């Protein structure tokens, strides 16, 4: 039987995604608004050295991502990244981990919708003014949401075909821009004037990673993991698809950052060389930079750049559209997984006859659009959502050796090497990424994450306050509050009041991360919590045997 059947009848996700569909789904999610926005916005903190920021981010994201590959291949279930910590730390720990991912999930679709409106404002200025969506822009974003809701309702196989087509178009467009633009426009002096390393030094390079959309841009891999319940032969195909997504997005983003830096014409911007804030403030970065070079080009190069400007603008509109579809689909599976674990009413996770979790799709769409009112810009949405996502990174990383210890007999088609060491490093990286996200963004996002504890009271009441495993997971809110305090007392570069300055602040957070990782392992349950074995055994027979 080629489908996932959950405990409650009527909740069935059908396995229609091939390996190619899954890989393109991840790449389609990864290559979105960030490739044009974040590649330029990162220069605000890092200048030309934003290239280093992208390289460091790529390494970090690989480290924190690998545990998801193990978990999703071990238990290929819809929304598994929101569910796995239930089996490591019990109901409370699982809920907070899933809640942080839920905050990420519901906000990604509106982020991509905002990106479409921002770039469309190049043609229709009424959509975006004063660095925020206008009522017309919000209306367009809602319309995009409605269209993609109906695409999702058509079934996962149709979503896969739609995404495959648009992703190949995105890949072709990116390759064309990456190859042709630097052949015509490239200013090597931008990498050394006034200097490659920004005035803020390495702290600026680090802060740019979570604070300008760079880390956000690497999120496509997790959409593959959350579609685990709909991928054929998921135990084999999932790790491959995640690896392909990570490789392609890393190459594309690093290359685009080089193109962006090399395309800057300071005279056209009317600022002194090295004033990267002017680059980071461009509303249509790559298109505006190419346009600024037209005055010094003649003949065929000018004609070709004019064509590439049009391509960049069109790409900047249809690329986020494709990513919007990916995230709406995958985000609804996170809510589906949440309902399967009892964090939400199980009725929310029911699917229709095509295997579509219709209620979760609608929930993600509606809640996401509501965020457009208080956060009507790409930057404000991205800054908030990244912090929430990184909390999930940390808890999932801590869960890796715990799950290994509690469930040693479960088959793991993909195993993280040196799991305890890997878990520690990933946990510390997540801790430092939260700190780099800058205050007061951390205040808003971490407070919203802690607010999940209030929502959890519903689940606790429903279970009659039994089996909450609070003693195993109370370290999580303490850990989050500690990160918030570090963010507040940290250096001015990260928005803090300056009690701790660079590099003492970073060293302190690293030590704090190591300490709490040890705590997370010491307080972990000594016996299994939840029936992970049953979740795994519900996999179709051909999945367990590894038959394509």
Instruction: Say yes or no to pLDDT of 399 above 60.
Output: yes
Nearest partner of 218 among 259, 172, 250, judged by Cα:
250
**Distance in angstroms between the alpha carbons of the first and the last residue of the chain:** 13
Residue 426 CA from chain centroid, whole number: 16
Residue 452 located in a structural domain: yes
- Position with higher pLDDT, 163 vs 109: 109
Instruction: Identify how many contiguous H helices and E strands the chain contains and give both numbers.
Output: 25, 4
Contact (Cβ atoms closer than 8 angstroms) between residue 67 and residue 397: yes
pLDDT, the chain, mean: 80
Q: What is the rounded distance in angstroms from the CA atom of residue 299 to the CA atom of residue 304? A: 9
Comparing 43 with 338, the larger pLDDT belongs to 43
In this predicted structure, what is the pLDDT of residue 11? Answer: 45
- pLDDT above 70 (res 190): yes
CB 422 within 8 A of CB 66: yes
Residue 304 located in a structural domain: yes
Number of domains in the chain: 1
Residue 360 binned pLDDT confidence (cut-offs 50, 70, 90): confident
Assigned token pair, 522: 């010491």
When pLDDT is averaged across residues 339-356 and rounded to a whole number, the result is 67
CATH number of the domain enclosing 8 = 1.20.1740.10
Q: What is the pLDDT of residue 13?
A: 46
Is there a domain that residue 93 lies in? yes
Kindly state the average pLDDT of the residues 66-88.
77
Q: Let me know if residue 433 belongs to a domain.
A: yes
Instruction: Report the 10 Å Cβ neighbour count for 431.
Output: 28
- Is cis: bond before 194, omega within 30 of 0? yes
- Write the burial class of residue 38 (CB in 10 Å: 0-12 exposed, 13-18 middle, 19+ buried): buried
**What percentage of the chain exceeds 70 in pLDDT?**
79
CB 324 within 8 A of CB 117: no
Cα–Cα distance, 414 to 474 (Å, whole number): 30
Say if 384 falls within a structural domain: yes
Residue 37 tokens read as 């926005």
Q: What is the DSSP letter of 231?
A: B
Contacts of 87 (CB under 8 A, 6+ apart): 94, 399, 403, 406, 407, 528, 529, 530, 532, 535
3-state secondary structure of 18: coil
The token pair at 274 is 């090295």
Q: Would 538 be classed as within a structural domain?
A: no
Question: Which of 128-137, 206-215, 427-436 comes out lowest in average pLDDT?
Answer: 128-137
Q: How confident is the model at residue 537 (pLDDT cuts 50, 70, 90)?
A: low
Could you read off the pLDDT of 244-295 as tens digits, one per residue? 888 888 898 899 999 999 999 998 888 888 889 888 888 778 888 888 888 8
Beta carbons within 8 Å of 8's beta carbon, 6+ residues apart: 346, 349, 350
Q: Are strands 128-129 and 3-5 parallel, antiparallel or unpaired?
A: unpaired
- C-beta separation of 240 from 23 below 8 A: yes
pLDDT-wise least confident of 23-37, 161-175, 303-317: 23-37
Highest mean pLDDT out of 184-188, 208-212, 452-456:
184-188
- Mean pLDDT, range 164-172, rounded to an integer: 80
DSSP state of 351: -
pLDDT mean over 59-77: 81
> Which of 228-242, 508-522, 524-538 shows the highest mean pLDDT?
508-522
pLDDT of residue 183: 92
Higher pLDDT, 539 or 519: 519
pLDDT tens figures, 96-124:
988 888 887 777 777 777 777 777 777 78
For residue 190, give every residue at least 6 positions away whose Cβ sits within 8 Å of its Cβ, in sequence order, or none: 48, 261, 262, 264, 273
> In Å, how far from its chain's centre is CA 200?
26
Query: What is d(CA 496, CA 434) in angstroms, rounded to the nearest whole number?
Result: 13
In a domain, residue 544? The reply is: no
Check whether 524 has a pLDDT greater than 90: yes
Domain that holds residue 329: 3-526
Q: Which residues pair with 17 in a beta bridge?
A: 231
Main-chain dihedrals φ then ψ at residue 133, nearest 5 degrees: -65, 140
Residue 532 forms part of a structural domain:
no
Q: Is residue 64 pLDDT above 70, yes or no?
A: yes
**What Cα–Cα distance (Å) separates residue 12 from each residue in 21, 22, 82, 353, 538?**
20, 19, 18, 8, 12
Q: What is the per-residue DSSP string for 373-404?
A: TT--SHHHHHHHHHHHHHHHHHHHHHHHHHHH
């Amino acid at each position: 039987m080629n489908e996932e059947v959950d405990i409650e009848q009527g909740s069935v996700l059908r396995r229609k995604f091939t390996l190619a569909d899954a890989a393109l789904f991840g790449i389609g999610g990864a290559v979105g608004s960030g490739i044009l926005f974040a590649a330029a916005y990162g220069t605000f903190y890092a200048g030309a050295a934003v290239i280093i920021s992208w390289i460091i981010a790529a390494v970090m994201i690989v480290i924190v991502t690998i545990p998801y590959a193990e978990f999703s291949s071990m238990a290929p279930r819809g929304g598994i990244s929101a569910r796995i910590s239930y089996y490591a730390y019990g109901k409370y720990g699982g809920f907070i981990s899933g809640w942080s991912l839920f905050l990420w999930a519901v906000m990604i679709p509106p982020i991509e919708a905002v990106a479409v409106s921002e770039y469309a404002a190049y043609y229709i200025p009424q959509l975006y003014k004063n660095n925020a969506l206008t009522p017309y822009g919000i209306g367009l974003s809602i319309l995009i949401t409605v269209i993609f809701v109906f695409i999702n309702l058509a079934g996962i196989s149709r979503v896969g075909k739609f995404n495959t087509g648009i992703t190949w178009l995105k890949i072709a467009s990116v390759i064309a821009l990456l190859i042709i633009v630097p052949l015509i426009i490239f200013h090597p002096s931008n990498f050394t004037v006034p200097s490659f390393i920004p005035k803020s030094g390495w702290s600026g390079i680090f802060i740019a990673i979570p604070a300008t959309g760079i880390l956000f841009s690497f999120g496509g891999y997790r959409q593959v993991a959350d579609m685990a319940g709909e991928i054929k032969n998921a135990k084999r195909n999932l790790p491959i698809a995640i690896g392909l997504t990570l490789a392609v997005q890393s190459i594309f983003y690093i290359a685009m950052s080089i193109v962006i830096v090399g395309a800057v014409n300071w005279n056209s911007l009317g600022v002194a060389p090295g004033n990267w804030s002017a680059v980071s403030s461009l509303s249509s970065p790559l298109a505006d930079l190419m346009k600024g070079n037209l005055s010094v080009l003649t003949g065929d190069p000018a004609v070709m750049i004019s064509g590439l400007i049009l391509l960049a603008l069109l790409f900047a509109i249809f690329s986020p559209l494709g990513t919007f579809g990916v995230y709406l689909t995958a985000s609804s599976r996170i809510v589906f997984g949440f309902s399967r674990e009892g964090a939400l009413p199980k009725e929310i996770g029911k699917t229709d006859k095509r295997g579509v979790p219709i209620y979760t799709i609608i929930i993600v769409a509606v809640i996401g659009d509501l965020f457009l009112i208080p956060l009507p810009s790409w930057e404000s949405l991205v800054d908030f959502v990244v912090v929430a996502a990184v909390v999930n990174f940390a808890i999932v990383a801590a869960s890796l050796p715990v799950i290994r210890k509690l469930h040693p007999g479960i088959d793991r088609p993909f195993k993280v090497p040196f799991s305890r060491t890997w878990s520690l490093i990933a946990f510390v990286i997540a801790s430092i990424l939260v700190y780099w996200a800058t205050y007061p963004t951390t205040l808003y996002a971490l407070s919203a994450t802690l607010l999940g504890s209030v929502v959890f009271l519903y689940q606790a009441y429903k279970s009659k306050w039994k089996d909450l495993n609070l003693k195993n997971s109370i370290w999580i809110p303490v850990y989050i509050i500690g990160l918030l305090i570090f963010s507040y007392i940290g250096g001015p570069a990260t928005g803090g009041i300056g009690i701790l300055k660079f590099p003492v602040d970073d060293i302190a957070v690293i030590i704090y991360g190591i300490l709490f990782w040890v705590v997370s392992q010491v307080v972990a349950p000594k016996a299994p919590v939840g029936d992970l074995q049953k979740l795994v055994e519900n996999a179709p027979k051909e999945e367990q045997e590894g038959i394509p």
